[in-house]
Amino acid sequence: MARPGLSVVAAAGVCLVAYSFLVGLWPSRSGADLDLVLLVRSWVNLPTGLGEDFGFLGIALLLLVVGTRAERAVPRRAVLPVAAGVVLTAVLALAGAEPLVDDSVITPALTAGLALLLVNVVKPLLRRAPALAAFVLVEVACLLVLLGTAAGLPLLAAAAGLVPVVVWGLLAALRVEDRVSTRHLALVGLPGFAVLVAADRLSPDTLPFWRPLGAVYAVLLFAIALPRGADLAGRAAVRWLADRAVVLVVAVIAIGYPLLGLLGEVLPAAVTVVVGVLVTGVAGDLAYRGLRRVT
């Protein structure tokens, strides 16, 4: 599905992830919360119920974009930066640095991989009966949530619990191609939301954040941006962010966050964050340009 609005969704997701991890999470863990972040939390996050400094909202938007492209082969430009990010994170951890290896990062990465694997498994059914295939994906996700919880595998349960978000993106692509009806969106989407809620309730780590609400906001923003984002999608900043979405997210995790830990030892928190965000953007851009030359 090629829609200009997807670029807007991807760009927004990248910005929210960067804000959450670099501007919100690192200063908070360092005991140096920025006044601007505290203000946003009081006036926006608390009233809307969006926790984690919009981090999950950004992740949900990106998972929706993944879903719209789930039927395609995964491009090398997406695989290579993720693989490089994993290697770099491991090297930094062994070197004594503090890369971001929280469940908030690992879980959505596992979700994307798991969802794409499941889509490939049901691809023959997806061609013949797309709505049924999407429903099967939701049911398999539900089964994996229950199995992961029962077997003491919380990461599996959490990752499977987010698979419905990817399925929603897939359903949107199928609807645009007129392969499913609006009725199918509800018949598959609502059970998917039930799986998301169940996984959230079964995970004590995510209970305080009420992530299903964040997923609902993501779907609403997605539904608004998809048909109406053409004007914004044409802007240079949006195109820049959307084209580099994968490498920028990897750069936030593998470069930006560890860099903040180093800079924070010699610079004030506000300066550290500004420099860290700029370096992350430059690193992501350089990585993107390098990928274009080799792929």
d(CA 281, CA 287) in angstroms, rounded, equals 10
Task: Extract the tokens encoding 293.
Answer: 């030359």
- Write down the pLDDT at residue 1: 60
- Write down the pLDDT at residue 2: 60
Model pLDDT for residues 11-48, shown as the tens digit of each residue: 999 999 999 999 999 999 988 899 999 999 999 998 88
Share of the chain above pLDDT 70, in %: 98
Q: At what angle do helices 211-228 and 4-18 cross, to 10 degrees?
A: 140
For residues 144 and 52, which has the higher predicted lDDT (pLDDT)?
144
d(CA 65, CA 56) in angstroms, rounded, equals 14
Model pLDDT for residues 174-224, shown as the tens digit of each residue: 999 999 999 999 999 999 999 999 999 888 777 667 889 999 999 999 999
- Average pLDDT on 123-142 reads 96
Q: What is the pTM of this model?
A: 0.95
Alpha-carbon Rg of the chain, whole angstroms? 19
DSSP 60-93: HHHHHHHHHTTTSPPPHHHHHHHHHHHHHHHHHH
Task: Extract the tokens encoding 94.
Answer: 């062994």
pLDDT bucket at 117, cuts 50 / 70 / 90: very high
- Residue-range domain boundaries for the chain: 4-71+78-294
d(CA 72, CA 81) in angstroms, rounded, equals 18
pLDDT of residue 96 exceeding 80, the answer is no
pLDDT bucket at 89, cuts 50 / 70 / 90: confident
d(CA 201, CA 225) in angstroms, rounded, equals 30
> In Å, how far from its chain's centre is CA 207?
19
Range scoring the smallest mean pLDDT among 14-18, 51-55, 137-141, 236-240: 51-55
Range scoring the smallest mean pLDDT among 5-14, 127-136, 171-180, 227-236: 227-236
pLDDT bucket at 160, cuts 50 / 70 / 90: very high
> In Å, how far from its chain's centre is CA 253?
12
d(CA 291, CA 5) in angstroms, rounded, equals 24
